[in-house]
Amino acid sequence: MVMAELWVVDSNCFIHIGSMAPDTFVKSISKALNNLQTGLHVTPGVHDEVRTVRFQRWKGQPNLLEKMQSLLITITVENSQISGLANLIGEKAAPQDVDLSLMVLASQLAREGNTVTLVTDDFKMTTTGDKANLGFETCPPSTFLQRMADYASQSHKKSLLSLSRRVRAAEMRYAISRAGQYDIQEKLTWMIDSLLETRVTPEPIAESTIDDESKLISALQRVIRGETVKNTHLSKLGTLPEVCKPITKIDDYLSNISSSQDSDNISGEYDKATHLLSEVMESIGLGLSPLNEEIAEIAHRAMAGDMYRMESALGMMAKLSGNLPRARNHLSRALYSATLIDDNKAEMRAMHQLGLLALSAASWQRAASLFETADAQAQKTEANRLPHMVAAAISRHLQGEEDLAQSHISSARLIVQNNKSEAVDLLSQLGNSLLAIDRPGLAIEVFDEAMECAIESGQDGKMDALAEALLLANSAINNEEQAQFAGLRELLDTLNQLHVDSVDEFETKISEIGQRSEKLSKPIDEIWAEWQPSSKLISANSQLIVLRVHEDDNGQELIISHHAEIGAIGLWLPEGGIKAAPGNLIDIKDSRVKVAKPPQALLELHNIRGLVAVESPEAISFIAKTEDLLED
């Protein structure tokens, strides 16, 4: 017997459908369900909760249950089973609780061997289902509609995908509205994970087939930018241009900060940006509150691109100030905003950044899924797939899935062979991204391949830059990480087939870097027991770069840093409270320093040559690059 893919649907999903679905919806989803040879499973309680729901956008606003009756499979669940589940998960719910009845139904269908997905925007049903090990998956209504588009015919796919985006906008608005009441990151992660499993993007739609709603969204975007639009569109938009006008403050702000190239107060800049975003959202929210759902939806989808850019920038600022959990929060929101505008490139960039954060957290499986989805988006937009494929291969290798890792490397190898000059830049960027998340062991292997390509394509200047990057990565790596990533070199060595004529030059370069690295790994010869000017240690025209920040149990911090001539040194800051991240530049103004040999434990843990005390810690500035906050 072949087991089916079944869907159990909660009341809120039907309420979303009633509010937003076009009059073609029932026909569209009927086709998809016929292809699946199933219906939508519900319990009698769902009928009770949606009995008065109507299709708001249909002529005459017919009753939803009457129109969808033939698609519903209604199964009664015993009260004793509901009570039993309530006791199991510790819920003090009444026996007639509809959510519990749906969870019982989904669990029963799963125990029969079916693949079951419970459709709900109530994240509590996901967490409690996992807690009780009930055997079903969950997804929000927007993802359910997107998956239905997979099974629909081409003529119905577009309308289901459009409905999915409208529902996703509503889900995101609700989640963000509750951000002040609880931490929404876990729910955002669940929403995004559901998207990773099914990322379906419609083919480009011809201008003549774009519906009126899409035209209004485009018109609103143009009028916000100050462009001229048709009077008929202006009339339909009503007060929306004025209500949405504050969104222009976001692009003005982002253009200004990205043009400044760097900042010595990235945490302060983050605070300023979050304040601006809150101010803009509050102003727009007040203007939209009197308007109906349909008009508000047009506004939110028109502004989704601005929200994507702002959340992305906030994510990068958080990352540059060393707060990776906060960075993930913002990048999750950025990704969700990107899905509202069908911007594959935006989705690709957000997925890649989230993948890097997953690598930082040693979540290899999640990282692989994110990079692979970014690669799928790259293929749709004809962007270069190389960084996504290499990162996915690394993730799969670390997860122990060698066949998949080799498959990704094989695909990446073809890209490298096609254009080794471009591969140098892409691999260098990936290596630097890995350094920025404190994964120098991974960065070294990527930089090695970039060096091979630079030699073969005759890019001497880039070879010098890569040599410095490799030296920095070697300073940052520790023994634990070297052991953890054993075997990675064998995998990445197959990425580029080095021509026999280039082997000697490559080995000479690597040998030179190794010799410099070994020289800079020995404890520093000279110690300063008395305070000395900082310029005596680090000249004004040289750079000290943060490798990582180590905090002990007492809140005292050690800034592990790299200098091209000195090597790795530790700045001892016993007061703590430092906002810094790998890649930040360190500037010490008007302060004296002492230098001591590091304790053996710190020497082994961080490979630092010396321990530096700073007389005036307030004289230290951590400078972050802001020119890369906005990606092309």
Question: If DSSP states are collapsed to H, E and C, what string results for 375-391?
Answer: HHHHHHHCCCCHHHHHH
Ramachandran angles phi, psi of 37, nearest 5°: 55, 50
Q: What pLDDT sits at residue 400? A: 92
Q: Which residues contact 128 (CB under 8 A, 6 or more apart)?
A: 89, 91, 103
Residue 58 located in a structural domain:
yes
Is 351 contained in some domain?
A: no
Are residues 502 and 594 both part of a single domain?
no
Specify the number of domains making up the chain: 4
**Is the pLDDT at 276 greater than 90, yes or no?**
yes
Does a structural domain hold residue 596? yes
Min mean pLDDT across 239-243, 249-253, 358-362, 505-509 is at 505-509
Q: Which helix (H) or strand (E) holds 195?
A: helix 185-197
Cα gap 303→392, rounded to integer Å:
32
Last residue of a domain, one of 519, 543, 573: 519
| pLDDT tens figures, 291-301 | 877 788 888 88
Residue 254 has pLDDT above 60, yes or no: yes
Position 168 scores a pLDDT of 86
- Is 70 inside a domain boundary? yes
Which has the minimum average pLDDT: 69-78, 151-160, 496-505? 496-505
Closest CA to 247 of 280, 276, 222, 279: 280
- Its domain, for residue 537, covers 528-625
Are residues 573 and 557 in contact, defined by beta-carbon separation less than 8 angstroms? Answer: yes
Distance CA 608, CA 441 (A): 16
Least confident of 168-177, 224-233, 247-256: 168-177
Query: Is 410 found in the same domain as 284?
Result: no
> pLDDT band for position 204 (50/70/90)?
very low
115 and 258 within one domain: no
The span from the CA of 632 to the CA of 628, in Å, is 9
Q: How far apart are CA 596 and CA 424, in angstroms?
A: 39
In a domain, 546, yes or no: yes
As a whole-number percent, the residues of the chain with pLDDT over 90 amount to 29
CA distances 281 to 278, 288, 289, 339, Å, are 5, 10, 12, 19
SS3 560: strand
pLDDT of residue 177: 63
Residue 57 shares a structural domain with residue 103:
yes
Mean pLDDT of 213-232: 87
DSSP 12-60: HHHHHHHHH--TTHHHHHHHHHHHHT--EEE-HHHHHHHTT-B-TTSTT
Query: For position 94, what pLDDT does the model report?
Result: 38
320 and 360 within one domain? no
User: Are residues 450 and 564 part of one domain?
Assistant: no
Last residue of a domain, one of 320, 342, 364: 342
Residue linked to tokens 């594959």: 344
Residue 197 phi/psi, 5° resolution? -70, -30
Say what percent of the chain tops pLDDT 70.
91
> Quick check: 384 and 426 in contact, CB under 8 A?
yes
| 232 and 280 housed in the same domain | yes
Assess whether 33 and 162 both reside in one domain: yes
Q: Is the pLDDT of residue 96 over 60?
A: no
Distances, alpha carbon 478 to alpha carbons 5, 75, 483, 484, 524, in Å: 48, 59, 9, 10, 18
**38/189: higher pLDDT:** 38
Residue 207 lies in a domain: no
Are 531 and 615 a contacting pair, CB within 8 Å? yes
Q: Are residues 85 and 131 in the same domain?
A: yes
Same domain, 79 and 122: yes
Looking at the fold, whether 189 and 220 belong to one and the same domain comes out as no
Closest CA to 344 of 375, 313, 368: 375
Rounded distance between C-alpha atoms, residue 547 and residue 28, angstroms: 54
**CA-CA distance, 45 to 104, in Å (whole number)?**
13
pLDDT digits (tens, 9 = 90+) for 356-394: 999 999 999 999 999 998 888 888 788 899 999 999 999
pLDDT at 181: 58
d(CA 188, CA 178): 12
43 and 165 belong to one structural domain: yes
Cα 36-38-43 angle, rounded to 5 deg = 145
Q: For residue 630, tell me if it sits in a domain.
A: no
Which CATH number goes with the domain that contains 144? 3.40.50.1010
Residue at which a domain ends, from 464, 496, 519: 519
Does some domain include residue 348?
no
Mean pLDDT across the stretch 202-218?
A: 57
pLDDT at 176: 64
Q: Check residue 521 and give its pLDDT.
A: 75
pLDDT of residue 200: 41
The HSE-up count of residue 285 (CA atoms within 13 Å, CB side) is: 10
